[in-house]
Amino acid sequence: MFQTLVRRYQSRVFTAAFRILSNAEEAEEVVQDTFLRVHQNISKFRKDASFSSWVFKIAHNQCMDILRNRQRRKGFRLLSFDPQSNKPEPTEESMEAYSVVSQLSDPGADPSQSLELSEQGSMVVEALKQLTDTQRTVVVLHDIEGFQYQEIAEIIGTSIGTVRSRLHYGRIKLKELLEPYFSQQNMSAVSR
């Protein structure tokens, strides 16, 4: 029964999409579109492949489409900058800051889900948003969804070496971003 199959995977797909996109509405859209495509193309599924990898490959493609559309819109905003105005031209730093602020105030982010997070969880989620899209995708697929390197390489269509590299440098960046929190935790642990 297809419904059973959807029920089994929808939470995983939604979680991954939400962590990659940081937007609940878009993540729900990804879940719907993913399972519609799974239904359309179920006959093309190779029985020797991992079904979950195949489902996540479709979901990953949906996420990438959304991220690409965001990039286009972002490019449009930059192009629409008026050089005649007296306002200073946006710098790379200010755009990055804008990106972070827009993510924090993302209307699609589900506040109830944020409230459920512990302090550490909130820190991790905010740090995760600051990775590049490609790093974040690999980190989510490995550390949250538990896929192996080979499976991730198949899902995102790249080599294992690239997966290894993206995952490592993504984690290193997360470590740097979370360093203040971790050192605080260590201090607390030592003081006890």
Partner 1 sequence: MSNDFNCEQLEPLLSAFHDGELSEVERTAAERHLNGCDACKNRLLEIGAVANSLKSLPRLNPKIDVAANIESLIANQPKQANRFSRPVFWGAAGIAAAAAVVVVAINLNGPSNLGDSPQTANSSIPHIGSKTQPVPQSQKLEVAHSIKNSSDLEVAQSVDNSSNTEQGSSEDQVGGSQVAATHLGRNGEPIGNAGAKKDAASESHNKTDRGEKRNTNVTQHVEIAQNPRVVPHIVDGSASGAHLDGSDPHLIARGTGGAGTIGADSNLVAVYDTEQHGVTEELGITTDEDGLYAIKL
- Alpha-carbon gap, residue 153 to 162, rounded angstroms: 8
One residue of 15, 50, 52, 103 binding partner 1 per CB under 8 A: 15
One residue of 19, 20, 26, 54 binding partner 1 per CB under 8 A: 19
**Degrees, nearest 5: CA angle 100-104-173:** 50
Half-sphere exposure of 51 (CA within 13 A, CB side): 11
The residue among 30 and 54 lying less far from partner 1, judged by its C-beta, is 30
The residue among 94 and 159 lying less far from partner 1, judged by its C-beta, is 159
Enter the DSSP assignment of 86: S
Sign of torsion, CA 135 25 69 62? positive
Under DSSP, is residue 99 helix (H, G, I), strand (E, B) or coil?
helix
**Total Cβ atoms within 10 A of residue 114:** 12
The reply on whether position 59 binds partner 1 by CB under 8 A is no
Instruction: Kindly indicate which of the ranges 28-36, 54-62, 71-79, 80-88 contains the residues binding partner 1, using the contact rule CB under 8 A.
Output: 28-36
One residue of 100, 168, 180, 184 binding partner 1 per CB under 8 A: 168
Residue in this structure with the two tokens 């730093």, named with its chain if needed: 93
| CA 158 to chain centroid | 17
The residue among 41 and 94 lying less far from partner 1, judged by its C-beta, is 41
Binding footprint of partner 1 on the chain (CB under 8 A): 2-4, 6-7, 10-12, 14-15, 18-19, 24, 27-28, 31-32, 35-36, 39-40, 110, 113, 116-117, 120-121, 124-125, 128, 139-140, 142-144, 148-149, 160, 164-165, 167-168, 171-172, 174-175, 178, 182
